[in-house]
Amino acid sequence: MLTLDADLRARVADEWAQDGLMEHASVASFARFTLHLLAVGAPPALVDEALQAGRDEIEHARLCFRLAQRVGGAAVGPGPLPLDGDVIGDVSLPAVVRAAVAEGCVGETVAAMEAGAALERAEDVEVRAALQIIARDEARHAELAWRFVGWAVQADAAARAAAEDAFRVVLAAPAGAPLTEEADVDRLAAWGRLTRRRRADVRAEALAEVVAPTAQALLARA
């Protein structure tokens, strides 16, 4: 095992555990997205892919929890997922498009690029194998969201307006203050962990190089 002192070991284990919890919550997100697709009459192929994406997230959670346990030495797993309130939300086509832009076109694109960036410098064999799966699947999930939004903006003028506004909001959001890089960046990278600064850089790159031009091309076709 690549050497980690006690503090870094605890941090790496905790971060992989937190990733596991987020992946676990994404299972519910894709279940909701599947219901949204059904509610707006999306093509069956998109519904099928949304169901598969939920299954992918189950595997991602398992991989993350396993790494957290391996590094930290304690069993890690999800607890009950709170489902209070309105878990389905607005199922109008414009609202579903807004959610897909935020969670899929942006969120999954950023997640795929973060996993790819982590993979570039990861050294542990099991970490690399997990990141390869996660990066591949998250890229496919992003493509699913882009295809859905493309279908929606072709089908409905209000959906197009919602997509335009959603992309405008996310792309116009001001960047945060520059972050100072951490001293332990190399040791964290070896275990597939990105620092806050590296995450911010990847997000900025994703927005500028993927989200903005893809949104422009998508809306130009509508």
What would the two tokens of residue 69 be? 């346990």
Provide the pLDDT for residue 183: 85
- DSSP line for 71-135: HHSS-----PPP--S-SS---SHHHHHHHHIIIIIIIIHHHHHHHHHHHHH--SHHHHHHHHHHH
Domains and CATH numbers, the chain: 6-75+88-174+184-221 (1.20.1260.10)
DSSP state of 222: -
What is d(CA 117, CA 94) in angstroms, rounded to the nearest whole number? 33
186 C-beta neighbours (distance < 10 Å), count: 10
Would you give the end-to-end CA distance of the chain in angstroms? 52
What is d(CA 171, CA 106) in angstroms, rounded to the nearest whole number? 10
Provide the pLDDT for residue 85: 84
What is d(CA 160, CA 150) in angstroms, rounded to the nearest whole number? 9
What is d(CA 166, CA 163) in angstroms, rounded to the nearest whole number? 5
What is d(CA 202, CA 194) in angstroms, rounded to the nearest whole number? 10
What is d(CA 4, CA 21) in angstroms, rounded to the nearest whole number? 23
Burial of 175: CB neighbours in 10 Å, binned 0-12, 13-18, 19+: exposed
What is d(CA 113, CA 30) in angstroms, rounded to the nearest whole number? 19
What would the two tokens of residue 3 be? 């050497």
Number of helices (H) and strands (E), helices first, in the chain? Answer: 9, 0
* CA distances, 147 to each of 11, 109, 160 (Å): 37, 13, 13
pTM of the model: 0.94
What is d(CA 72, CA 11) in angstroms, rounded to the nearest whole number? 9
The answer to whether the beta carbons of residues 42 and 104 sit under 8 Å apart is: no
Task: Going residue by residue through the chain, which has 222 residues, state the pLDDT in tens, using 9 for 90 and above.
Answer: 567 889 999 999 999 999 999 999 999 999 999 999 999 999 999 999 999 999 999 999 999 999 999 999 999 999 998 888 888 999 999 999 999 999 999 999 999 999 999 999 999 999 999 999 999 999 999 999 999 999 999 999 999 999 999 999 999 998 877 888 888 899 999 999 999 999 999 999 999 999 999 999 999 986
